[in-house]
Homo-oligomer: A and B are copies of this chain.
């Protein structure tokens, strides 16, 4: 029985001792501990993994943690039992490279999630969902139907008890209706090195500006477009010999790798969000 615990709270004297003492009293053996203090924001972050060789009651543990630690220290915290697979929905539009990448990782056992469905505003990628035998929902979206479409999305998400959503080059803006239900639980890939080239057509903008490096950024979706907490970024060199088409082709490799890394970090409970930034544990 292995438990991953994530904690953040105001930085205070004695927290590490208080938590390790509590776990010791409960018969837990800390097998991993990483912590971080944001000295500017005076916030403490900790991620622990704890084994309980002599049995463990989840309900009792959570209740006592809440009373004895979380309340006195005003912690925000969560804990996750090993082996519980998160339910992940994938939203796509017409580009297939990120979808292929996620599904082939899933198939090879690298991504320990269930994928109850793939959703798209187009039908172009239905054939990939079919290849991988994953249900595909076509929810078209337009200015007029946006509200209705989001209702359908929310219902699908709820019915499948989705834990988090991956926007794998889903070219639509997700509104607060959905974001509010999935705070820090919608992962997007943007095809630029944010904050450079936010918004539409970043490769065109990068080409015009004559940059020598292009990038991709995976971030949690917030209401501010392309401005949510960054999870992962990576870059590739380019030169004057590359056309916009070359940027796009090279960028595909970045996008799929960066998105998959971010999804893995999220699935392994290695991300914490604070002040529109992320703490990424190793």
Number of copies: 4
A38 proximity list for chain B (CB < 8 A): 240
CB within 8 Å of B: which of A27-74? Answer: 29-40
Q: Which of A34, A96, A196, A243 is most buried by chain B, counting CB atoms within 10 A of its CB?
A: A196
Any B CB within 8 A of the CB of A233: yes
A200 proximity list for chain B (CB < 8 A): none
Contact between B36 and A33, CB atoms less than 8 A apart: no
A243 to B282, CA, bound (A): 12
Query: Which stretch (A12-20, A84-92, A154-162, A170-178) binds chain B?
Result: A12-20
Contact between B237 and A237, CB atoms less than 8 A apart: yes
A237 proximity list for chain B (CB < 8 A): 237
CB within 8 Å of B: which of A182-213? Answer: 193-197, 209-213
A278 to B260, CA, bound (A): 29
From B33, B231, B252, give the contact of A33 (CB < 8 A): B33
| A residues whose Cβ falls under 8 Å from a Cβ of B | 13-14, 16-17, 20-21, 23-24, 29-40, 96-97, 100-101, 104-105, 107-108, 110, 131-132, 193-197, 209-213, 215, 229-235, 237, 239-241, 243, 249, 252-253, 257, 260, 275-280, 282
Given contacts A195-B196, A196-B196, A240-B279, 19 further A-B contacts (CB under 8 A): A14-B29, A16-B20, A17-B21, A17-B30, A21-B24, A32-B35, A34-B34, A39-B243, A40-B243, A97-B104, A97-B105, A110-B252, A195-B197, A210-B229, A210-B277, A212-B233, A213-B215, A240-B278, A241-B282
Show 9 residue pairs from A and B whose CB-CB distance is below 8 angstroms, ordered by the A residue: A14-B24, A17-B20, A20-B20, A20-B21, A33-B33, A33-B35, A193-B193, A237-B237, A282-B282
